[in-house]
């Protein structure tokens, strides 16, 4: 695509943590991934294109067989994808995942990416928080739209801070979940 003249291409779905993966060979952001990501970014730049990376966490879409634990979600939910129940996130999970998004962003910038796309759509973790169907919490992380948006906004703020002033940050966000109660 870069050789064909596109202005920017995006490396799609890279998990911010091992427990955010939907399949075994999915890229997840860690120091060991940086050399390969740097090679990818350099190849795009050599063709004159900018390069973005999409960062996300699968939430309860994560495969328990891959992550070897119960997937995380805003609320305990049965995942038909993994045929398992998710575990509702705790305060420690909120802190860790916010940090995971920030760390993944810093690694992406180190690898040479020009932009960070935060995945807030299509039923993944941050989208799960926005959806009243998936987010049935009764604390300050659920209920009103302001509360349901609290964690996604916290993550986007951490990503923006970690990206620095030279790296673009944008979000992928669906406008409709496509099912009743979404």
Q: Is 170 a catalytic residue?
A: no
Q: Given 13, 124, 133, 170, which residue is catalytic?
A: 124
The kind and range of the H/E element at 154 are: helix 150-163
Q: Using CA atoms of 102, 105, 110, 116 in order, give the dihedral in degrees to the nearest 10.
A: -160
Q: What is the DSSP string of 28-71?
A: B-SGGGHHHHHHHHHHHHHTT-EEEEEEE--GGGS-HHHHSSPP
Torsion of CA 74, 137, 153, 109, to 10 degrees: -20
Give the chain's largest Cα–Cα span.
Answer: 50
DSSP summary character for residue 167? S
* Residue among 107, 83, 135 nearest 32 (CA): 107
Active-site residue set: 124
């Amino acid at each position: 695509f870069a050789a064909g003249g596109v202005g920017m291409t995006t490396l799609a779905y890279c998990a911010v943590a091992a427990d955010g993966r939907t399949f075994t060979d999915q890229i997840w952001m860690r120091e060991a991934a940086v050399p390969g990501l740097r090679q990818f970014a350099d190849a795009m730049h050599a063709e004159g294109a900018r390069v973005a990376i999409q960062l996300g966490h699968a939430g309860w879409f994560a495969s328990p067989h891959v992550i070897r634990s119960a997937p995380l979600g805003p609320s305990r939910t049965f995942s038909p994808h993994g045929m398992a129940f998710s575990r509702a996130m705790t305060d420690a999970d909120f802190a860790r995942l916010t940090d995971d998004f920030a760390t993944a962003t810093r690694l992406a910038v180190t690898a040479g990416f020009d932009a960070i796309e935060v995945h807030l759509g299509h039923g993944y973790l941050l989208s799960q928080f926005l959806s009243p169907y998936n987010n049935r919490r009764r604390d300050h992380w659920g209920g009103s739209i302001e509360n349901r948006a609290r964690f996604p906004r916290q993550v986007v703020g951490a990503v923006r801070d970690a990206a620095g002033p030279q790296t673009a940050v944008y979000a992928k966000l669906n406008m409709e979940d496509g099912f009743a109660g979404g």
